[in-house]
Structure 1
Amino acid sequence: MSFNSLGLSQALLKAISKKGYTTPSPIQEKAIPPILEGKDVLASAQTGTGKTAGFTLPLLQLLSQGQTLRQRPVRALILTPTRELAAQVYANVKEYSEFVDLRSAVIFGGVNQNPQVTHLRQGVDVLVATPGRLLDLCNQKVLSLANIEILVLDEADRMLDMGFLRDIERIIKMVPAKRQNLMFSATFSHDIKKLAQGILRHPVMVEATPENSTVDAINQKIYRVAKGKKTGLAIKLISEGNWKQVLMFTRTKHGANKLCKNLISANVSAAAIHGNKSQGARTKALAGFKNGSVRVLVATDIAARGLDIPLLPHVINFEIPNISEDYVHRIGRTGRAGASGEAISLVSADETSYLRDIEKLLGFRIESDIIEGFEPDPNASTEPEKRQQRPSRNAPRRNSNPRNSSGNNPRRQHNKRRN
């Protein structure tokens, strides 16, 4: 199948061709036709499947076919959980709308709102936003959602994980009752289906996985190691393997900062990306990682969600996640678009139960090895230091981040949540 057979306009096909795409991905093939028909869609698709184009292309076509009002009120709203994902979705909207008469903008927290406000006042058809900044500007009467025709919730599962349920409910009350709704999520969990029931109307359900499954595309390996020797082992693997681009995961922001500092001390260029970093620092770190000036990007799960890093060869779980599904999200950063990838996990004794849960989810045992000089501690306890429980997703937002173990007080934690 080609893009020509999906019913897209010549203007959009021209933009697609300019990007070098010829064949739609499975999620694009399944989602674009029902969206063009004006139907609500509930789609399951992970990052790397082409899902952004799956809703952006038909959204742009529907808006371009409608009447363009002189004041250009916001007619399509795309909600994303993180600043980085918002910026990437906006970049896609800009690229695909090059040959249609539509204006777009992106708003998110962590940066001065004035340039965003100026952009909005010039008239915007498509708005990409994180919930916090969107509500802030609506409350300031800078922005109205009264003309929304299409509402998109991108990575809805992560928005629930990050405690945005109440914000989503507030936003829903601000948009017209008559609208088209599109919801994209990595999974069709119970919570996602419950959220969908309150937003979508008789949705078409579509599901697609990457062309290569996690097992087929990614070489997974575990190194059993003493907790205090993890940094040394990571440096050895990166240096001896001459790895040029490595995404490393920690469970906490403090752990990311500490690891980054230790890597730099060992002459391995590194940068950390997490919620406590300013937007400028996060953008600079990601840009350095992409252009090769930063060899290792150390990230927490939430900060890494939605990062678009094509053909990433190596992922290292410096600390494996205590939530099994996050392991799949992490290693899914590599092995994309038919390329091979390597995912290595450094597992200490206290992470034994986390590993057992991950292997249960995968349905197989991951190959394990020990490197001389970095052996595991035979006397270490296999009990987790502190097993973090996922709170109720209906709990107040300031207590809703299951991965924030930085010890911040509730008020500061709530403020940082305003993306």
Structure 2
Amino acid sequence: MADHDTFASLGLIPQLVDAAAALNFTRPTPVQQQCIPAALQGKDIIALAPTGSGKTAAFALPIIQRLWESPRGIFACVLAPTRELAYQISSQFEALGAGIGVRCAVIVGGDVDKIDQAVALAKKPHIIIATPGRLLDHLKTTKGFHLKSIQHLVLDEADRLLDLDFGASIDLVLQAIPTERTTYLFSATMTTKVAKLQRASLRDHVRVEAGLANQTVDTLLQYYILCPLVMKDANVVALIESQAQSSMIIFVRTIHNARRLAGMLRMLTFSVVPLHGELTQTQRLGALAKFKSGERKILVATDVVSRGLDIPLVDLVINYDMPTTSKDYIHRVGRTARAGRAGKAVTLITQYDVELLQRLEKAINCKLPEWPIDKEVVNALRSTVDNAAHQVMHEMKNEPSGTKHGKGRGKRYLEDAGAIEGVEELALLGSAGQQKRKKARV
């Protein structure tokens, strides 16, 4: 394969080369170098690449160029596993296609108004970015809406789509679109389900593998902190204080922990915002907007954020709760050290997590060193931190019965959840993690 050191060398038109430069895309990533020329030749593609590898531009740029060459109504459909990722993909399409007036419609579920979406679809956007369930709902019920004219289908984060049991919905969408189309399937891992979807949706395709999807990047420094469970809060506060100038995401396992930890840190005067599955879509996008803009330095999140999000300036990822699988760990820490930048990840390990740590080190073939935490500082903080934690727990227990978290909890919680005016304009965002409702909610 010829060297492709510039976007112009990939065969892109000058308008798109300029658009990439305007977004500070200085040099094509490996997945872009391999995907874009094949896509411009009209090939189907299956691409296996790790998080942060530039996958969105790898399919957005060729789709926009082919739209430029043959403008028409609804031209492409992108299926994404989560609402945040759908919004982020849309923002990148609109940014890259601004020079030729690309119009997108985001079609996602949750509390987003279905009538407004139907109006957006009636305006015949060029690109539809959707979660499978809501798209199928519109195909069944929205008068006049169909996908019979689309030329491109993208299945992004395919392994995640199938993990969330969207398989049946995807099958029905495939039946509703033309067989004569170009299909791009992007996945972090090649699972049995992804292989089956590949056989069902791709024809004469090109296979692209860029990097090891089950490994962390070389620019990521990884550590652990070993502490008793009762000292976990004091240790995380000491760690945050030692990295006070850093932008950081703290991952927790449950909504309860996200609310408790965010409330405790807020009480200790840290600049923090929570993000989890019980917030409304407006609040979730608002929380991301506050974090991306630097208005909040700390994002406390469940795995709703662990995949797909492109937040360029995350200096540190903290695993407050140890992830249960190496795949979840890789996606979490992939929020930092992106696109060749350096980053750090620190995982808190209690007496109950040691075996999980050993399994993780074996899976990623990396022995994690211990973070140099100052035990005297931790001990000095414990009383203050525990008092804050107890006060937050008391507030949470005394919330009105039946109150939906994130909606009616009072002004302070709403503000910190990101319920801000004009959030749709601010949220050039995205990414991941709406669990099935019958599973434990995160």
Aligned to 2:397: none
Q: How far 1:36 moved relative to its partner? A: 0.9
Aligned to 1:359: 361
Q: How far 1:297 moved relative to its partner? A: 0.7
Aligned to 2:127: 126
* Higher mean C-alpha deviation, range 177-186 or range 115-124: 115-124
Overall identity of the aligned pairs, in % = 38
Aligned length: 378
- Please tell me whether residue 317 in structure 1 is matched to residue 357 in structure 2: no
CA 101–278 in structure 1, closer or farther in 2 if over 3 Å, else same = closer
Q: Indicate the SS of the match to 1:350.
A: coil
Q: How far 1:310 moved relative to its partner? A: 0.2
CA contact under 8 A between 1:220 and 1:367: conserved in structure 2?
yes
CA 194–302 in structure 1, closer or farther in 2 if over 3 Å, else same = farther
Which of 322, 335, 338 is the equivalent residue of 2:337?
A: 335
CA distance in 2, matches of 1:119, 1:280: 18
Aligned to 2:87: 87
Mapping 1:269-288, distance limit 5 Å: 269-288=271-290
CA contact under 8 A between 1:164 and 1:397: conserved in structure 2?
no
Aligned to 1:32: 36
Mapping 1:60-99, distance limit 5 Å: 60-68=64-72, 72=73, 74-99=74-99
Q: How far 1:89 moved relative to its partner? A: 0.7
CA contact under 8 A between 1:314 and 1:334: conserved in structure 2?
yes
CA deviation digits over 1:375-399, x for unaligned, max 9? 9xxxxxxxxxxxxxxxxxxxx9654
CA 65–342 in structure 1, closer or farther in 2 if over 3 Å, else same = same
Q: How far 1:321 moved relative to its partner? A: 0.7
CA contact under 8 A between 2:93 and 2:102: conserved in structure 1?
no
CA contact under 8 A between 2:56 and 2:89: conserved in structure 1?
yes
Coordinate RMSD, CA, aligned: 2.2
Mapping 1:263-274, distance limit 5 Å: 263-274=265-276
CA 287–326 in structure 1, closer or farther in 2 if over 3 Å, else same = same
Q: Indicate the SS of the match to 2:93.
A: helix
Aligned to 1:345: 347
Q: How far 1:37 moved relative to its partner? A: 1.1
CA contact under 8 A between 1:231 and 1:262: conserved in structure 2?
no
* Higher mean C-alpha deviation, range 32-41 or range 167-176: 167-176
CA deviation digits over 1:149-207, x for unaligned, max 9? 11001111111222211221121111112211100111223332222111111321101
CA distance in 1, matches of 2:24, 2:269: 38
Q: How far 1:244 moved relative to its partner? A: 3.7
Give the aligned residue type for 1:198: A
CA 398–239 in structure 1, closer or farther in 2 if over 3 Å, else same = closer
Aligned to 1:179: 181
Which of 121, 146, 149 is the equivalent residue of 2:148?
A: 146
Runs of 4+ displaced beyond 6 Å: none
Q: Indicate the SS of the match to 1:311.
A: coil
Aligned to 2:112: 111
Q: Indicate the SS of the match to 1:335.
A: coil
Give the aligned residue type for 1:100: I
CA distance in 1, matches of 2:290, 2:93: 24
Aligned to 1:2: 6
- Please tell me whether residue 198 in structure 1 is matched to residue 197 in structure 2: no
CA distance in 2, matches of 1:77, 1:229: 49
CA distance in 1, matches of 2:441, 2:151: 39
Q: How far 1:371 moved relative to its partner? A: 4.9
Q: Indicate the SS of the match to 2:357.
A: helix
- Please tell me whether residue 100 in structure 1 is matched to residue 100 in structure 2: yes
Give the aligned residue type for 1:140: T
CA deviation digits over 1:303-350, x for unaligned, max 9? 432221103101000011112111111111111233221100001111
CA distance in 2, matches of 1:398, 1:241: 36
CA 298–125 in structure 1, closer or farther in 2 if over 3 Å, else same = same
CA deviation digits over 1:208-247, x for unaligned, max 9? 139xx73521111111111122111111111233244110
CA distance in 2, matches of 1:365, 1:23: 32
CA contact under 8 A between 1:244 and 1:292: conserved in structure 2?
no
Unaligned ranges ≥5, structure 2:
380-434
CA distance in 2, matches of 1:151, 1:195: 13
* Higher mean C-alpha deviation, range 53-62 or range 95-104: 95-104
Q: How far 1:128 moved relative to its partner? A: 0.9
Give the aligned residue type for 2:188: A
CA distance in 2, matches of 1:341, 1:397: 31
Q: Indicate the SS of the match to 1:38.
A: coil
* Higher mean C-alpha deviation, range 87-96 or range 160-169: 160-169
Give the aligned residue type for 1:39: K
Give the aligned residue type for 1:124: P
Aligned to 1:163: 165
Q: How far 1:17 moved relative to its partner? A: 2.9
CA distance in 1, matches of 2:369, 2:436: 39
Give the aligned residue type for 2:159: D
- Please tell me whether residue 17 in structure 1 is matched to residue 18 in structure 2: no
Give the aligned residue type for 1:202: D
Q: Indicate the SS of the match to 2:218.
A: helix
Give the aligned residue type for 2:197: L
CA distance in 2, matches of 1:331, 1:397: 23
CA distance in 2, matches of 1:293, 1:304: 21
CA distance in 2, matches of 1:19, 1:397: 35
Q: How far 1:250 moved relative to its partner? A: 0.9
CA distance in 1, matches of 2:23, 2:242: 36
* Higher mean C-alpha deviation, range 267-276 or range 79-88: 267-276
CA contact under 8 A between 2:326 and 2:364: conserved in structure 1?
no
CA deviation digits over 1:40-89, x for unaligned, max 9? 10001233211111000101112222252xxx2x2210111111111111
CA contact under 8 A between 1:311 and 1:337: conserved in structure 2?
no
